Amino acid sequence: MKGVALSIVVPCYNEEACLAELHRRLSTAAKVAVGGDFEILLVNDGSRDHSWDMMKMLAAEDRHVVAINLSRNHGHQLALTAGLDFCSGERILIIDADLQDPPELIPAMMEEMDRQGADVIYAVRRQRAGETAFKKATASIFYRALSRITEVEIPVDAGDFRLMSRRALDAFLSLPEQARFIRGMVAWVGFRQVPFLYDRAQRHAGVTKYPLRKMLAFALDAVTGFSTAPLRIASHIGLWLVAASVLLLLYIAFGFFTGSAIQGWTSLMLVVVVLGAAQMFVLGMIGEYLGRLFMEAKHRPLYIVSDIAGQAGGRRYLGHVAETIATNETPGVSETRPMT
Ligand code: UDP
Ligand code: MG
């Protein structure tokens, strides 16, 4: 069965204050771009507010809306993956629920894709309104550092806001990893990817769902997912220490032969502390990779869906999921990665 022309995938976590406005602006923009031939997939990532109730209402009122309820909070990147798994469009737009990325850009992004013959149009932030100087500075440093240590060219200052072709999405969906840094994975897929400059707005309502802790975890996923450079830190430090120890050896020998070798608490402590710290750091780095290897080795499903609400016109769902949709909503379905 042929899918719709455009699928819009939105991960949502505690976004009740944004959903109505999001739906209104997305629908308007999508109609301008493709007429009625679109779907909006709202993925509820275990929200603790009334997001899911609102999504069900939207799905009941509007046949363009499909609401997917995850069994718990799986995190932004996995919620997004769930939506991408379920969407059927020839083109796929990824957008945040908080309206920081203006839906009104959709028609222009579609045109740009036609004009450039591109498979991915990724939105690059020219300006970011309403975000702290700290967030902007750390993001800027991070993206530049990341691009230095990875072989994949991950675009600087781009989030997940992007338009993809079906073949780019299918290629993306064939990547099985648990620790997902989606903007990097899309870059890895290749094809023709073109930047699209825009100004990032403020949140429509609510607060950021990315506190420092999540930002750090996200950054670690990005680094470990796309580079093994940190694993080589040990050998770099080791090399420098060899050079340093030759000098130290000379100094020790000098002290021994001139008979002035008793003092030395300071230098001893220095060596112990510096070496200890370096070893702990390197061990920790290895641990990061080992932990991820462990998680990958378990081959757990990426996410669990508990309910789906909405119409299933022309979708690529598996049979038993389609049944769920036909009855509009059945709790307790454990459906994972239905179509890879
Ligand atoms: N989000 C999610 N699960 C989470 C955290 C965030 O689905 O555990 C969604 C959130 O609802 C939003 C998007 O991911 O649509 C980006 O989050 P947010 O706007 O809070 O991040 P920021 O723009 O501040 O980096
Ligand atoms: Mg945001």
**Distance (Å, whole) CA 282 – CA 231:** 8
Look at ligand 1, atom 3, and give the residue with the nearest C-alpha. 76
Binding site membership of 96 for ligand 1 (Cβ less than 6 Å) = yes
Q: Tell me the three state secondary structure of residue 28.
A: helix
Amino acid at 15: E
Binding site membership of 160 for ligand 1 (Cβ less than 6 Å) = no
Q: Which atom, in ligand 1's list, is nearest to the CA of 75? A: 8
**Distance (Å, whole) CA 181 – CA 178:** 9
- 231 C-alpha to ligand 1 centroid (Å): 30
Look at ligand 1, atom 13, and give the residue with the nearest C-alpha. 96
Per-residue pLDDT of the chain (340 residues; tens, 9 = 90+): 568 999 999 999 999 999 999 999 999 999 998 998 999 999 999 999 999 999 999 998 998 999 999 999 999 999 999 999 999 899 999 999 999 999 999 999 999 999 999 999 999 988 777 778 888 888 888 888 888 888 788 888 888 999 999 999 999 999 988 888 998 899 999 999 999 998 888 888 888 888 888 888 888 888 888 888 888 887 788 788 888 887 888 888 888 788 776 767 777 877 887 788 878 888 888 888 888 888 888 888 888 888 888 865 444 443 334 344 444 444 444 444 444 3
Mutational pocket test of ligand 1: of 9, 13, 18, 52, the residue with most ligand atoms within 8 Å of the beta carbon: 13
Q: Which long-range contacts link 168-175 to residues 24+ away (Cβ below 8 Å)? A: 168/119, 168/120, 169/84, 169/87, 169/92, 172/84, 173/84, 173/85, 173/339, 173/340, 174/340
Write the DSSP string, 268-306: HHHHHHHHHHHHHHHHHHHHHHHHHHHHHHTT--S--EE
- 43 burial class (0-12, 13-18, 19+ CB within 10 angstroms)? buried
